[in-house]
Amino acid sequence: MIPKIAVLMTVHNRKDKTLNCLGLLYAQTGLEGKATVDVWMMDDGSTDGTAGAVGKQFPEVKIIHGDGSLYWNRGMYAAWTAAEKHGDYDFWFWLNDDTDLVEDALVRLLDASKEHGDKAIIVGSTCSSTDPQTITYGGWTDQAGLVTDVSTERTCDTIGGNIVLIPRYVYSILGKNEYTYHHALGDRDYGYRAGRAGIDIIIGKGVFGVCDRHERLSKWKDKEMPLKVRWNDFFSPYGSTGMEFFRFRRRFCGFFPAVKTLVTSFFHMLMPGLYDRIFPEGANGAGL
């Protein structure tokens, strides 16, 4: 039988990017006879007409409607929940709507998965739109952070959620992403859970898509912002810190490292200027 792929997306007020992403997804080459694709898209309270435009241009997309409170991780969880109730899928494919797939991305991911017996998570790296040599998202290692050498296939410790193929075997062990997190950390959490379960995470060879990095400094780290703004951002879903990061660190590092991270994060938020002088390189790295 031809494998079935459930594409999972969460979108919010990026209508043009969403439509472009879907257009490139449906234009994937080499899938004939290899796989079929169903798209499950959580529209989390968009006010720019995203859902209507998608429904008109891509009526086959299955749209789930949110109220704007889910953000990325919980939106992906909701899309996954809807998909698993209505289909028996062989693969689950995470796709960010600001990511432009190269034309053969899906078939290369499937081929890589087959090489590993469809028992590993396959991560596709993305590059900058202005410099194909600059890797922007993909797999991560605890020692080096984002893996930027994609000249050959390699393993990693955890994942960024832009382009991720999860086979049925992995899903049968790990289930869905963790609902605890609002926006970020759910992809990192899933990767570390995979490692604990003995599941390999493979970074595919080469670039699978284009996505520019979001270089905005978090408001809670910005010394130019008033304390009230920093405080509110720290506890917002976009802050990705506070108690959510504490739970993340406690799960994978233990209680005392989690407490240390929480204390230094509060210090960073309350006195960012002093923090930057004491920790010019940052106290919390990309990994654990």
Residue numbers of the chain with a pLDDT score lower than 50: 284-287
> What local confidence, expressed as pLDDT, does residue 243 receive?
77
How far the first Cα of the chain sits from its last, in Å, is: 41
Average of per-residue pLDDT values in the chain: 93
Domain locations in the chain as residue ranges: 4-210, 219-278
Domain 4-210: give its CATH architecture: Alpha-Beta Complex (3.90)
> What local confidence, expressed as pLDDT, does residue 187 receive?
96
> What distance in Å separates the CA atoms of residue 261 and residue 285, rounded to the nearest whole number?
10
Residues 6+ apart with CB under 8 A from 163: 94, 95, 96, 99, 101, 105, 109, 123, 124, 125, 126, 137, 138, 208, 209
DSSP assignment letter at 39: E
Find where tokens 């929480």 sit. 262
> What distance in Å separates the CA atoms of residue 227 and residue 229, rounded to the nearest whole number?
5
* Angstrom distances, CA of residue 14 to CA of 22, 50, 98, 158: 12, 7, 8, 27
> What local confidence, expressed as pLDDT, does residue 111 receive?
97
Please say whether the beta carbons of 6 and 83 come within 8 A. yes
> What local confidence, expressed as pLDDT, does residue 281 receive?
63
Beta strand pairing status for 135-137 and 121-127?
Answer: antiparallel
> What local confidence, expressed as pLDDT, does residue 112 receive?
98
Beta strand pairing status for 4-11 and 154-155?
Answer: unpaired
Among the listed residues 9, 5, 20, 84, the one whose alpha carbon sits nearest the alpha carbon of residue 57:
20
Q: pTM for this structure?
A: 0.92
